[in-house]
């Protein structure tokens, strides 16, 4: 019995050591406390499986915190990088950097897909990795401090995986791309503002893209232009028009 227990402890211990090593290699430094990172890498689906201790926590609370930590670090990065650009540009570029798809791709490149624990099929699981990356950022912030976390995000995410020129250039012209496509394919293309919602001083618009009298996609934004861009971007995906 004692032998079995010692074996189990050894096994768990070596698993923790391996995980600590793997996380350390993603972070570029040794974590202080491993627990918060383990939690960051535990998807809801995995927490549904109860272990002997009963209910298990998952990474969604950390994802909430990490999303804001990432947001402020990217905000400051862009604020300083583009001293002459207005807040509309900064907001737009930040949202392109921190969108789920972009984060999931970065998470996979970092090797997080091997570390995330979840139950179920790996198909359609891509967003899990982006969410885990956000949770990991919160874990770093809680385990170390804001400065260390900022360094990690700047060096390991922004400088290593984000090509700002490409982001600014590539995504800018969804609307023009769509217009070009409609011209070439001889389709009738319309942009239409569906809704305007006033919430205090802020306005939100909803726009839609109509091709040959059929709505392809709707989009939202704080200006008509942005709502149209959002709708155009979604339409390009749906219509499989290369950006």
The answer to whether 232 and 174 have CB atoms below 8 angstroms apart is: yes
Sign of CA dihedral 90, 96, 99, 102: negative
Closest CB 68 distance from a second copy, rounded Å: 4
Q: Which is nearer to a second copy, 184 or 199 (CB)?
A: 199
User: Can you give the C-alpha Rg of the chain in angstroms?
Assistant: 22
Q: Which is nearer to a second copy, 142 or 189 (CB)?
A: 142
Which of the following is catalytic: 134, 143, 206, 230?
Answer: 134
User: Which residues in this chain contact a second copy in the complex, by CB under 8 A?
Assistant: 60-61, 63-65, 67-69, 71-72, 75-76, 79, 86-87, 90-91, 99-101, 126-127, 130-131, 141, 146-147, 195, 197, 199-202, 204, 206, 218-220, 234
Q: Which is nearer to a second copy, 12 or 237 (CB)?
A: 237
Distance in angstroms (rounded) separating the CA atoms of residues 23 and 56? 21
- For the question of residue 76 being annotated catalytic, the response is no
Coil, strand or helix at 128: helix
Closest CB 90 distance from a second copy, rounded Å: 5
Which residue in this structure is represented by tokens 């793997």?
22
| Helical axes 126-143 vs 100-110, angle rounded to 10° | 70
Closest CB 22 distance from a second copy, rounded Å: 25
The answer to whether 107 and 81 have CB atoms below 8 angstroms apart is: no
- For the question of residue 242 being annotated catalytic, the response is no
Residues annotated as part of the active site: 67, 134
């Amino acid at each position: 019995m004692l032998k079995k227990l010692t074996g189990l402890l050894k096994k768990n211990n070596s698993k923790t050591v391996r995980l600590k090593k793997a996380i350390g290699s993603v972070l570029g430094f040794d974590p202080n406390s491993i627990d918060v990172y383990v939690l960051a890498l535990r998807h809801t689906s995995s927490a549904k499986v109860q272990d002997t201790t009963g209910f298990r926590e998952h990474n969604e609370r950390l994802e909430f915190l990490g999303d804001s930590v990432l947001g402020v670090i990217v905000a400051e990065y862009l604020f300083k990088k583009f001293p002459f650009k207005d807040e509309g540009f900064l907001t737009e570029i930040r949202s392109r950097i921190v969108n789920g798809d972009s984060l999931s791709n970065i998470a996979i490149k970092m090797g997080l897909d091997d570390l995330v624990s979840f139950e179920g099929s790996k198909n359609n699981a891509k967003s899990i990795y982006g969410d885990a990356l956000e949770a990991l950022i919160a874990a770093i912030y809680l385990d170390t401090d804001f400065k260390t976390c900022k360094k990690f995000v700047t060096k390991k995410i922004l400088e290593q995986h984000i090509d700002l020129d490409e982001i600014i250039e590539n995504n800018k012209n969804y609307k023009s791309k769509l217009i070009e496509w409609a011209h070439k394919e001889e389709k009738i293309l319309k942009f239409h503002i569906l809704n305007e919602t006033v919430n205090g001083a802020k306005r939100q618009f909803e726009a839609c893209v109509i091709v040959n009298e059929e709505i392809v996609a709707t989009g939202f934004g704080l200006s008509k232009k942005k709502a149209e861009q959002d709708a155009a971007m979604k339409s390009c995906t749906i219509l499989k028009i290369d950006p």
